[in-house]
Amino acid sequence: MQNKIKTVQQHILDEERMHPGATGDFTALLTTLTLAAKIISREVNKAGLVKILGETGEVNVHGEAVQKLDEFAQQTVCRAMGHNGHLCVMASEEAQNIIPIPDGSTRGKYVLMFDPLDGSSNIDVNACIGTIFSIHHKITKDHEDGSLEDCLQKGSDQIGAGYFIYGSSTMMVYTTGNGVHGFTLDPSLGEFLLSHENIRTPARGKIYSINEGNMHFWDAGTRRYIEHLKEDRKDRGHPYSLRYIGSLVADFHRNLLKGGIFLYPGPKGKLRLLYEASPLAMIVEQAGGAASTGEQRILDIQPTSLHERVPLIIGSREDVEQYNQFYKEAQKSAAD
């Protein structure tokens, strides 16, 4: 039989229909998000042409104020999602406080957290960047508007998570708890088409991704673990290779498909729990992988503030488990 042709909207709708009492609201929410991503993708693709890469404050050839791409992405998501009618509040890596739904727009039952353009240091050099999103149910009852409390939910309570990657093609990868599915944007149709159904990440990989320039800041467990991977290559014939783009979505996406481990270790980490770690942790677990801080499962962390950072160790299950072991042993020897 030939491969099926299916748009992301059809796929989400089919998944939503599996839930009794589904209203279609969730499908509508994600559909609007794909529209925002298409707009961002279009700007990313023509960035070099319209000099959109300039600093804010510049004026382009049309006499319009030039925006940096990350600000453009932030505003695009807010403008598309704020009026979508299904959200009660949003929060973004690019905004200090929670983002209320605009006056006059219908409030809904979902909460959206997002990183509008992750990997922004790669924009100027034409490397992959992405948009990451995380969706929760509203949990507060007293107002139609959502609050900080609605945003500070554990990753294990997410009802959906995903990312868009703006690379050699634009892709959407998402999960609603029924596996992980990937869609590739066909620019001639303007549709995301199913290209990677039910992604499973290999149990063990051959790639590690870490900023080795930070080696002297690493904890002892991380240092020993990375040494061990290099010894695996030299002595035990398991060829780990280092691959690091410095754009989380791109590093994560490659490792998800090929197998491997991405590390941004502590003590505090750089990556944000709500906009980066939690959504990618849901995706990786749904694909059979794992995500931890070294001592705790990412999805079990109770957030305490909007922009909280966590160490992030994420990827193939056996690799993450082995890292956790190294981390715990180093903690134990330091305590003895």
Both tokens assigned to 99: 């983002």
Closer by beta carbon to Mg ion, 15 or else 118: 118
Total residues in contact with Mg ion, by rule CB under 5 A: 2
28 binds, among Mg ion, ligand AHM, none (CB under 5 to 8 A by kind): none
211 binding ligand AHM? (CB under 6 A): yes
Backbone angles phi, psi at 302, to 5 degrees: -85, 110
CA distance 29 to 9: 10
The distance of closest approach from Cβ of residue 214 to ligand AHM in the complex, given in angstroms and rounded to an integer, is 7
CA distance 317 to 328: 16
Neighbour count for residue 333 (Cβ, 10 Å): 11
Closer by beta carbon to Mg ion, 120 or else 324: 120
94 binding Mg ion? (CB under 5 A): no
**What amino acid is encoded at 229 in this protein?**
L
**Site for ligand AHM, residues 185 to 204, rule: CB under 6 A:** none
Region of 293 on the Ramachandran plot (φ > 0 left; ψ -120 to 50 alpha; else beta): alpha
The answer to whether 274 and 111 have CB atoms below 8 angstroms apart is no
The distance of closest approach from Cβ of residue 182 to Mg ion in the complex, given in angstroms and rounded to an integer, is 20
The distance of closest approach from Cβ of residue 118 to Mg ion in the complex, given in angstroms and rounded to an integer, is 4
119 binding ligand AHM? (CB under 6 A): yes
SS3 at position 200: coil
SS3 at position 39: helix
**For residue 268, which of 243, 294, 306 has the smallest C-alpha distance?**
294
42 binds, among Mg ion, ligand AHM, none (CB under 5 to 8 A by kind): none
**DSSP characters for 213-266?**
GGGGGS-HHHHHHHHHHHHHHHHS----EE---S-HHHHHHHHHHH--EEEE--
150 binding Mg ion? (CB under 5 A): no
115 binding Mg ion? (CB under 5 A): yes
The distance of closest approach from Cβ of residue 19 to ligand AHM in the complex, given in angstroms and rounded to an integer, is 33
Site string for ligand AHM, 267-296 (x = CB under 6 A): ---x--------------------------
Q: Which helix (H) or strand (E) holds 173?
A: strand 170-175
The distance of closest approach from Cβ of residue 249 to ligand AHM in the complex, given in angstroms and rounded to an integer, is 7
Query: Stretches 97-105, 107-115, 222-230, 291-299: which one binds Mg ion (CB under 5 A)?
Result: 107-115
Among 94, 118, 150, 319, binds Mg ion (CB under 5 A): 118
**Site for ligand AHM, residues 230 to 249, rule: CB under 6 A:** 246-248
Write the burial class of residue 232 (CB in 10 Å: 0-12 exposed, 13-18 middle, 19+ buried).
Answer: middle
Which residues lie near ligand AHM (CB under 6 A)?
93, 115, 118-120, 211, 246-248, 270
